[in-house]
């Protein structure tokens, strides 16, 4: 489990594409307390450390993950947001993020707004119902608050610090980003569906 607060921007050092992809990621994040088999959130994807060195770690990525995330577009030199897994007692600065990417969203527009940037994102149709104003959403591993919703398109505000210290500052209109909806929103929607179904049965 993670919080969506990026701690470091890593860079893809190499990719071996024999079967599952093995990706080596360089980072200056402190890995001394990271055991083999630990989880690291890589641009929103929860991946398992299978090898590591002083300033790098390696992960294996399955065909399923490649088909559902932006990892398939990574190449040598690609920069990615990194966050180690949450430890008991750590500050929860964002929201509960599981690293289970729900799909790919499309960045519709990027506009400067004072010192911040306004992003408009088109969510996949099956996920749009879970996104609400003032709710939480994760984009490329970054915990963000939804400002407004218009159909399948929603807006977020990126403050200068987040713009400069995550890969969101490198994004442009047309880019695909990993999206994870808030788990609380998923459960609320599920309960509403169950309640509506029961009401329909009672009325029948």
CA distance 31 to 15: 20
Task: Write the pLDDT tens digit of every residue in 181-199.
Answer: 987 766 666 666 655 555 5
Domain residue spans of the chain: 8-84, 103-190
Q: Report the pLDDT value the prediction gives residue 201, as an integer from 0 to 100.
A: 56
Per residue in 40-98, pLDDT (tens digit) is 999 999 999 999 998 999 999 999 999 999 999 999 999 999 999 977 666 666 688 99
Residue 103 CA to chain centroid, in angstroms?
10
**Residue 132 exposed, middle or buried by CB count within 10 Å (0-12, 13-18, 19+):** middle
User: Assign residue 77 a region: left if phi > 0, alpha if psi is -120 to 50, beta otherwise?
Assistant: left
pLDDT at 93: 67
- In CATH, what class is 103-190? mainly beta
Q: Evaluate whether 8-84 and 103-190 have a shared fold.
A: yes
Of the candidates 133, 140, 135, 147, the one whose C-alpha atom is nearest the C-alpha of residue 165 is 140
Cα 125 versus chain centre, distance: 18
Average pLDDT over residues 118-140: 95
The CATH-assigned architecture of domain 8-84 is Beta Barrel (2.40)
Q: Which of 30-34, 91-95, 100-104 is the least confident region?
A: 91-95
């Amino acid at each position: 489990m993670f919080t969506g607060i990026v701690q470091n921007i890593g860079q893809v050092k190499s990719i071996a594409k024999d079967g599952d992809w093995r990706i080596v990621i360089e980072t200056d994040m402190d890995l001394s307390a990271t055991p083999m088999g630990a989880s690291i959130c890589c641009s929103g994807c929860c991946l398992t450390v299978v090898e590591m060195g002083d300033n790098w770690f390696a992960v294996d990525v399955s065909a399923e993950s490649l088909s559902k995330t932006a990892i398939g577009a990574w190449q040598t030199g690609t920069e990615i947001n990194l966050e180690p897994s949450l430890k008991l007692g750590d500050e929860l600065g964002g929201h509960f993020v599981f690293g289970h990417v729900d799909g790919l969203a499309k960045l519709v527009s990027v506009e400067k707004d004072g010192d911040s940037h306004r992003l408009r994102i088109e969510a996949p149709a099956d996920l749009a119902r879970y996104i609400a104003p003032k709710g939480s959403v994760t984009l490329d591993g970054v915990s963000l608050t939804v400002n407004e919703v218009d159909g399948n398109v929603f807006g977020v505000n990126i403050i200068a610090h987040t713009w400069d210290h995550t890969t969101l500052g490198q994004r442009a209109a047309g880019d695909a980003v990993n999206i994870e909806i808030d788990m609380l929103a998923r459960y609320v929607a599920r309960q509403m569906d169950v309640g509506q179904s029961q009401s329909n049965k009672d009325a029948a």
